[in-house]
Amino acid sequence: MATLLNGEVKDLDGFSVTRILPHKAKKMVGPFIFLDHMGPALFKPGEGVNVRPHPHIGLSTLTYLFSGSMLHRDSLGNVQEIHPGDVNWMTAGRGIVHSERETLEVRSREHELNGLQFWLALPPHKAEIAPSFQHIKREDLPHRYAGKTVLRLVAGEAFGMTSPVRTHSPMFFADVVAHAGDRVSVPEQAGECAVYIQSGELNIDGQLFCAGDFVLLDTPDDIQIQSSGRFVILGGEPFAETPYIRWNFVAYSRERIKQAEEDWKAQRFAVVPGDDEEFTPLPGL
């Protein structure tokens, strides 16, 4: 059985995103607790992504672009521009601060952005690990070719491949450029699994789904590709305990989230070198 979850449009520091997770019908898919589809957006010169420094705890972020670029800076001193097909994987653990902006060259011209940003909850025994950051280029990610369909494993283990991204619980995330009439098998070890369609149409369990649909897969049936396009497939083992999520914080107790809020208000988090003159205020929650 396949279940459609509709996202909600949100404003994020001047541009719109479609927020898919958390959803009132399904808070998590495996470790995936948050999903924003950024764009597609076309920016005029002088405009673009400008997310000021903000904190995280208890999660890893996964940023993956279809087009455009973003400039990541964090409180560990990492500075990394991400391009389509690359993966930025940032683990907050006990606390990290980062910003998401653009280079001067990108901001100076008309440019586009289209991509996905995920949060993956850390399991309880890893919720307070040291923060870290990893960037993997697209050519270093494993690929599989089946007929005219191409699959890239971005993170985790699936399809007989293992990504070099250092994950913290059993999961997978793959990008598929699909050819009409082909089939893609859902990994047997998927646990919970979902598909997000970037373009084209998919036949799942006898139902037709199209671009912008986020579909929960309740059975491990093959995905029939109805028309050529692109989709991502993700999943992992479900958590025994669902953490709380509030603003940018994920934790297994409300007290830990309150502590993080107080630490951010008092500016006890580390600053982002080279981007320490602005910050995102704690919203009224």
**Domain spans of the chain?**
2-236
pLDDT-derived band of residue 30, with 50, 70 and 90 as boundaries? very high
Rounded to whole angstroms, what are the CA distances from 24 to 7, 17, 27, 178? 10, 18, 7, 30
What local confidence, expressed as pLDDT, does residue 173 receive?
97
Contact (Cβ atoms closer than 8 angstroms) between residue 38 and residue 114: yes
Higher-confidence position of 191 and 130: 130
Which of these CATH numbers, 2.60.120.10, 3.30.465.10, 3.30.365.10, 3.30.1600.10, describes 2-236?
A: 2.60.120.10
54 has a pLDDT exceeding 70:
yes
How do residues 163-196 score in pLDDT, each as one tens digit? 999 999 999 999 999 999 998 988 876 689 999 9
Q: What is the 3-state secondary structure (H, E, C) of 21-60?
A: ECECCECCECCEEEEEEEEEEEECCCCCCCEEEEEEECEE
For 219, counting Cβ atoms within 10 Å of its Cβ (0-12 exposed, 13-18 middle, 19+ buried), the class is exposed
Name the pTM for this structure: 0.95
What local confidence, expressed as pLDDT, does residue 224 receive?
86
The Cα angle at residue 263 between residues 259 and 269, in degrees rounded to 5? 130
Residue among 206, 205, 213, 207 nearest 230 (CA): 213
59 has a pLDDT exceeding 70:
yes
What local confidence, expressed as pLDDT, does residue 14 receive?
63
> Residue 171 gets which letter from DSSP?
E
